[in-house]
Homo-oligomer: A and B are copies of this chain.
Amino acid sequence: MPQDGNSRYLRCMKTPRYTPLALSLPSTVPFVGPETQERSRGKAFAARLGANENIFGPSPLAINAMQQAAEEIWKYGDAQSHDLVQALAAHHGIPAQNILVGEGIDGLLGYLVRLLIGPGDAVVTSQGAYPTFNYHVAGFGGALHMVPYRYDHEDIQALFAKAAEVDAKLVYLSNPDNPMGSWHRGQDIVAALADLPEGALLLLDEAYVECAPTGTAAPVDINDPRVIRMRTFSKAYGMAGARVGYALAQADLILAFNKVRNHFGMNRTAQAGALAALQDQNWLTHVQGEIATARKHITEIAAENGLTALPSATNFVAVDCGQDGDFAKAVLDSLLAQDVFVRMPFAAPQNRCIRVSCGPDEDLALFAAALPVALAAARSACAADIAS
């Protein structure tokens, strides 16, 4: 054996040997995070209104619980998130066996797609809906089929019809919707299940449902094998950085996650924080009020600038900039340049909008000050384009 094993590696060009699927995947990212943008800008944002984070924050009791739990961070988290699952079971009035806690909805989406979707398996979603779901589907080789929004709402009938057409194993629907903020009544979703083709599982992403009017949460029978719902502590509960989501579904499907999930993947402080956040429903009510106020405020700012804000059941508002995606992109770019972090929908015609997260008055004041400048800049750029 040679003394230096390192000398041999130059000829080992075949290592590592990726799967054909891995080789076919792009190294793209669903979203560019605000910190990444700040580093490439060389400058921090003054208002962070782009990631639908909840700037009003979590319950102080949740923060305190996390700080307490940090003292015990030497222990792994409970692999079953037992206390949180029990509390969620009581909160929802369902058995614990119908609940799985995981590393945010993003983590749960990955596990669910892995359980169901292999190369070529059909999946249906809306054109311009949550890209991280698409990322997971592509990552397991699934074939994504998309239907357009209808009047800025996800089109349930079209989604289910497409699912029947392509024999989909999985159908994605977010209610309320991201990025448009629109929503369906929960009872309408349950009624529409009659048209969900056999063999298709409806993944109902209810990440924003605590921000929505009463009746938005779909009253799905917890034993209905056709639906899995996902909830999160990242939005109304204000704990995006903790990574805690949960799934509600029939017990067999919940159990199946144990085949693939990272059993010791939960951060221990996050488990404690989510439990405390759930137990402080007064704080949730307070935040719901703040969100409603901020939505109204964003709507007013839009109106003052001659723009229309779309009705929203979420903690963000899509503001229709009144022209096409290029124009909205120019508005967005100017807002970013003015240190106001916002995002915009990916697909036309929703990309005529910018998407502004709810926040306290001081953040919205920065947006209000920057928007007229951004609109003027976009109109000027647009005029220059036409002239050239």
Given contacts A27-B256, A76-B53, contact A15 B194 (CB under 8 A): no
Which of A169, A268, A269 neighbours the largest number of chain B CB atoms within 10 Å of its CB? A269
Contact A74 B22 (CB under 8 A): no
Tell me whether A99 is interfacial, beta carbon within 8 Å.
no
Q: List 8 A-B contacts (CB under 8 A).
A: A5-B190, A13-B225, A14-B199, A30-B263, A73-B241, A103-B103, A104-B264, A242-B269
Bound state CA distance, A349 and B226, in angstroms? Answer: 48
Report A24-41 CB contacts with B as 1/0, cut-off 8 Å. 011111111101100100
Q: A30-B263, A36-B78, A70-B269 are in contact. List 13 more A-B contacts (CB 8 A).
A: A5-B190, A6-B224, A17-B199, A17-B201, A25-B260, A27-B256, A35-B80, A66-B70, A66-B269, A73-B239, A73-B242, A132-B264, A267-B270
What is the number of residues of chain A that contact chain B, defined by CB distance less than 8 Å?
113
| A285 contacts chain B at the CB level, 8 A cutoff | no
A261 to chain B, nearest CB (A): 9
On whether A79 and B33 interact (CB within 8 A), knowing A25-B260, A107-B265, the answer reads yes
Q: Is the CB of A242 within 8 A of B225?
A: no
**Complex interface residues of chain A between 56 and 100 (CB less than 8 A to chain B):** 56-58, 62-63, 66-67, 69-80, 82
A9-B193 contact, Cβ under 8 Å, with A53-B74, A54-B74, A200-B15: yes
Instruction: Report chain B residues within 8 Å CB of A243.
Output: 77, 264-267
- Nearest-neighbor residue (CB-CB) of A66 within chain B: B70
- In the bound complex, CA of A67 to CA of B73 (Å): 11
Q: Which residue of B12, B115, B200 is within 8 Å of A18 (Cβ)?
A: B115
The 8 Å CB contact of A29, one of B20, B78, B258, is B258
Is the pair A5, B192 in contact by a Cβ cutoff of 8 Å? yes
Which residues of chain B come closer than 8 Å to A51, judged between CB atoms?
75-76
Q: Which of B17, B82, B115, B196 contacts A35 (CB 8 A)?
A: B82
Q: Is the CB of A263 within 8 A of B22?
A: no
The answer to whether B53 and A63 touch across the interface, beta carbons within 8 angstroms, is: no
Is the C-beta of A2 less than 8 angstroms from some C-beta in chain B?
yes
Q: Which of A16, A110, A223, A256 has the most CB of B within 10 A?
A: A16
Whether, in the assembled complex, A259 has its beta carbon less than 8 Å from a beta carbon of chain B, the answer is: yes
* CB–CB B75/A53 < 8 A: yes
Closest to A224 in B: B9
In order of increasing CB-CB distance, the 9 nearest A-B pairs are A241-B268, A5-B193, A25-B259, A33-B79, A35-B78, A16-B201, A267-B267, A66-B70, A67-B67
Question: Contacts of A238 on B, CB cut-off 8 Å?
Answer: 73-74
Separation of A193 and B9 alpha carbons in the complex (Å): 9
Which chain B residues lie closer than 8 Å to A267 at the CB level?
241-243, 267, 269-270
A70 to B132: give the CA distance in the assembly, Å: 25
Is A191's CB within 8 Å of the partner chain B? yes
B22 near A259: Cβ-Cβ < 8 Å: yes
Minimal beta-carbon separation of A255 from chain B (angstroms): 6
By a CB distance below 8 angstroms, the chain B residues around A179 are none
Complex alpha-carbon distance, A71 and B193, angstroms: 42
Contact B80 A226 (CB under 8 A): no
A311 adjacent to chain B (CB < 8 Å): no
Tell whether, in the assembled complex, residue A63 and residue B58 are in contact, meaning their CB atoms are under 8 Å apart: no
Give every chain B residue within 8 A of A20 (Cβ-Cβ): 118
Instruction: Decide yes or no whether A117 CB sits under 8 A from chain B.
Output: yes
